[in-house]
Amino acid sequence: MDFLLSVIGFAVDLGNVWRFPYICYQNGGGAFLIPYTLMAVFGGVPLFYMELALGQFHRTGAIPIWKRICPIFKGIGFAICIIGLYVSFYYNTIIAWALYYFYSSLSGSLPWASCDNPWNTPHCTNYFGGSNVTWTNFSRSPAEEFYTRKVLELQKSGGLYNIGGIHWELLLCLFLIFTIVYFSLWKGVKTSGKVVWVTATLPYVVLLILLVRGATLPGAWRGVVFYLRPDWGKLLSTAVWVDAAAQIFFSLGPGFGVLLALASYNHFHNNCYRDALVTSTVNCLTSFLSGFVIFTVLGYMAEMRDVEVEDVARDKGPSLLFITYPEAIANMVGSTFFAIIFFLMMITLGLDSTFGGLEAVITAVMDEYPQVLAGRRELFVLGLITVCFLGSLSTLTYGGAYVVKLLEEFGAGCSILAVVLLETIAVSWFYGIQRFSHDVKAMLGFTPGLFWKVCWVAVSPALLAFIVVSSLLDQPPLTLFDYQYPEWSILVGYLIGASSFICIPFYMVYKLVWTPGSLKQKQNLVLLGSILSALVLTIILMAVCVYKPVRRR
């Protein structure tokens, strides 16, 4: 149960609450469930199962595991660790925002409920303040101004050219978050496995409370209808299928090394096949449930404003959780209680995902260098947490939200999908699907069926390649609120993404140079390394080459 809750806690994160509902209604409502289910069955779940089986059989982390599978691909392990660091630089800052909201909720009246605060501007307009409210293009809600002017203080920043100083209140919140993370991870899964009994289960209690409350609000049915109303014509759009595949892969989380790390602590004969099916099902159902929680409230807001649901459902990403939903909570009966439990849910959702992400890095590095780090886990974890905290400082500045967006887009975007693609190819094609099936049989007592083998060898790699190419060829302009990211920042983003992925061809070259033997003995490795290095460089060059034409369009 420790393991199962840890995996569920990692897979079910903030993205299930904010990303899936938005993606669903944007891509055809109920019709979107068809491509989402197909991508889960043929792509996400097979890779989830593969990683759990790999970690449980080889019982080691993301770096040293490649010594036993295909040594030339060891760079994948280093790439995974770098991506894990990038994610920790911005993801914990989002949790710190939630902690700031949680603290702000501990008052008689919520600070984002009115326009009578020092940070408000003349443009602040309270929708719920009366019937004669006039809304213009310059109007801003109290919740939006609290988020942008009080929590983030974006008005003190000039964009990425001048991100300003550090917001000390957010610094304290982040320090507290990392303190919790450290004392949850310092003893390993013995401590984190107990903490997730709270952090992985509490969100479901809160979701059910919020669902019941949302369903009793006037206009809730409008939101549900908008959420699920099928638009069958959307299924003819390639973008819908790309969004479905990307959502399921990022939601289940293969490729981050977390599943490898957590499964490596399992008993050898643990039924990881059952765990994969249970966890994947819970993850997808949680996303679906979250949509009802969000859209019942959006329907209520539309009813109160006397507008269409689509007019209040424009926010996406963190804005949905920090502007739209808090605004609705502020105008409910018992607003303080619902605000406290909502942001407590967000904190716990974020924490157990952070536990998994950092445990993947810890396990990978400690298993790779046992002669140096054996018996020094507490010190190593302290050093890693310190690096993550220092790396997060730029996200705590007045322009930190711009940095968060940049890292979110490029730190773990196409790079993690490409890593999963190469990981799948390495296991299925080079390690061998038959050998991998024998490993599974040794653990579980039965061989994976034909469906799983076909998915591992052909279907899942094809879906991943489809997503990577589509993502590179269709990069929309990067914006946050009214801020348009400058071109140089996009190039910086590509460099961030390439900095992790480049470990793979670099390690291939290193392995080819230092492997003992004559050139003739190494010719197969040389050929393999040349082909895959060329593939990697082609993808990177493609990304850079398509950048300017896409931006101009």
DSSP 113: S
Using the predicted structure, report yes or no on whether residue 553 has a pLDDT greater than 50: no
* pLDDT for position 546: 45
* pLDDT for position 549: 38
Q: In this predicted model, what pLDDT tens digit does every residue of 158-192 receive, in sequence order?
A: 888 888 889 999 999 999 999 999 998 888 777 77
State how far the Cα of 341 lies from the Cα of 246, in Å rounded to an integer: 30
Known binder of ligand: residue 162?
no
* pLDDT for position 545: 45
| pLDDT band at 63; cut points 50, 70, 90 | very high
Known binder of ligand: residue 9?
yes
CB-based contact 360:77 (threshold 8 Å): no
CA distances, 181 to each of 11, 162, 323, 352, 382 (Å): 17, 31, 26, 9, 10
State how far the Cα of 464 lies from the Cα of 420, in Å rounded to an integer: 8
Strand (E) or helix (H) holding 135: none
Strand (E) or helix (H) holding 310: helix 309-312
Q: In this predicted model, what pLDDT tens digit does every residue of 382-435 receive, in sequence order?
A: 999 999 999 999 999 999 999 999 998 888 877 888 888 889 999 999 899 999
Q: Which residues contact 452 (CB under 8 A, 6 or more apart)?
A: 46, 49
- Of the CATH numbers 1.10.3470, 2.60.40, 3.40.50, 1.20.1740, which one belongs to the domain with range 1-473+485-547? 1.20.1740
* pLDDT for position 522: 58
Q: Where are the domains of the chain?
A: 1-473+485-547
* pLDDT for position 472: 73
| pLDDT band at 518; cut points 50, 70, 90 | low
- 3-state secondary structure at position 479: strand
Q: At what angle do helices 45-58 and 414-425 cross, to 10 degrees?
A: 60
* pLDDT for position 32: 85
Known binder of ligand: residue 251?
yes
Q: What is the mean pLDDT of residues 193-214?
A: 85
State how far the Cα of 248 lies from the Cα of 43, in Å rounded to an integer: 8
* Mean pLDDT over each residue of the chain, to the nearest integer: 84
Six-digit token pair at 419?
């890593």
Known binder of ligand: residue 444?
no
| pLDDT band at 530; cut points 50, 70, 90 | low
Known binder of ligand: residue 12?
yes
Q: In this predicted model, what pLDDT tens digit does every residue of 85-98 receive, in sequence order?
A: 999 999 999 999 99
State how far the Cα of 160 lies from the Cα of 410, in Å rounded to an integer: 16
Which of 178-187, 255-264, 513-522, 541-550 is predicted with the least confidence, judged by mean pLDDT? 541-550
